[in-house]
A = this chain, B = another copy of it.
């Protein structure tokens, strides 16, 4: 072992797109068919944490553990590509400064964990690859010489949407035009501090009635959907401009209109695929109808929209809303979808911040704050657990360096073993 431990531990956030990424023009380099735009969610609530260490004693073999399980780093795989690209950047830095230790020549060990269970129904590849790139960047001390957008270009090759998790706030992934992918990277549209008022309520939807899972269909849509071509050429470009302006203006109504339209447009292209791809189920659709009715009723009082829904490649709804609307939205969701597990992040229920609400609950009445014109029969009250879990969070910052060197945050032991695995061995 080297006398110095070269190590960094970083956390990275989840992001949820409002202009959706669907379809690759290059599946190897992960180059998308269109631009996309997302909101980065607060790492205080949802995050991936990764420790990366370089050591001469590790031998030639890079190793990586994800949630305690070792992953094979395949020779032509995405992990390999990301680590190699980061090593190249370190190598360039070392070439310019002979005094630097030759970390680029040593193997790395990487240990990564998500603080949200798979059962939350959230994709972890974006935050996971972002944390990988952030921890290697910190280990190799690449910034500020290497820009965050340049790092995002590498994260993109791990998982497309990971590039957007390199920034906080409001983030665009510019799809780019070059075959090399050099211009396919993330840029900040606005920082978290520009519009910190935006919150998100993630509704984790039960998918009990599903049969055999359908295979991933992004490229099937590219190959078979006539509508996707129209979405790429004529729909997304204008929406990217319009929603960027809405974010600059903190114009929630426009932001909501575009967010909902683009979610529906994306799922329409999935449905237009042969064979069709369905991600939303009856509960997803009920949340759409409820949100539309909340907005209709609010607009009938000349108030703006209350919330915007968006759906990724699954049945879960993410509702974006200004902070002030969240108590109404939360109570309405809990009325129609009883018994969802819920950690009360922002103490909306007055039982203390992060108070846990689990299992059987009393029936939740509709809130007094509902617009007068709200039609309470818009959807029926659903069976208990139709929405399994609610996660209340907000727009957040980009990756954080939690620690340089070996300290309390490290996921690797002094010997370079994954800490969780180590704990399991001891137990």
Q: Which residues of A line the B interface, CB within 8 A?
A: 209, 211-212, 214, 226-227, 229-231, 234-235, 257, 260-261, 264-265, 267-269, 271-276, 278, 281-282, 285-286, 288-289, 292, 296, 375, 377-380
Contact = CB atoms under 8 A, between A and B. Distances in A.
Contacts of A212: 375, 377-378
12 contacts: A209-B286, A211-B380, A212-B375, A227-B230, A227-B231, A227-B235, A227-B265, A227-B268, A261-B274, A264-B271, A267-B271, A271-B271
A286 B211 contact: yes
Contacts of A268: 227, 268-269, 271-272
B285 A257 contact: no
This chain's copy number in the assembly:
2
Contacts of A234: 226, 230
A211 B276 contact: no
A210 to B, nearest CB: 8
Given A211-B377, A268-B269, A375-B212, A260 B274 contact: yes
A285 to B, nearest CB: 5
Given A257-B274, A278-B285, A281-B282, A209 B269 contact: no
A386 to B, nearest CB: 10
Nearest to A260: B274
Contacts of A292: 275-276
A179 to B, nearest CB: 27
A375 B211 CA distance: 10
Contacts of A231: 226-227
Given A209-B286, A214-B289, A260-B275, 13 more contacts: A212-B378, A226-B265, A227-B227, A227-B235, A264-B272, A265-B272, A267-B271, A268-B272, A275-B289, A276-B288, A278-B288, A278-B289, A281-B282
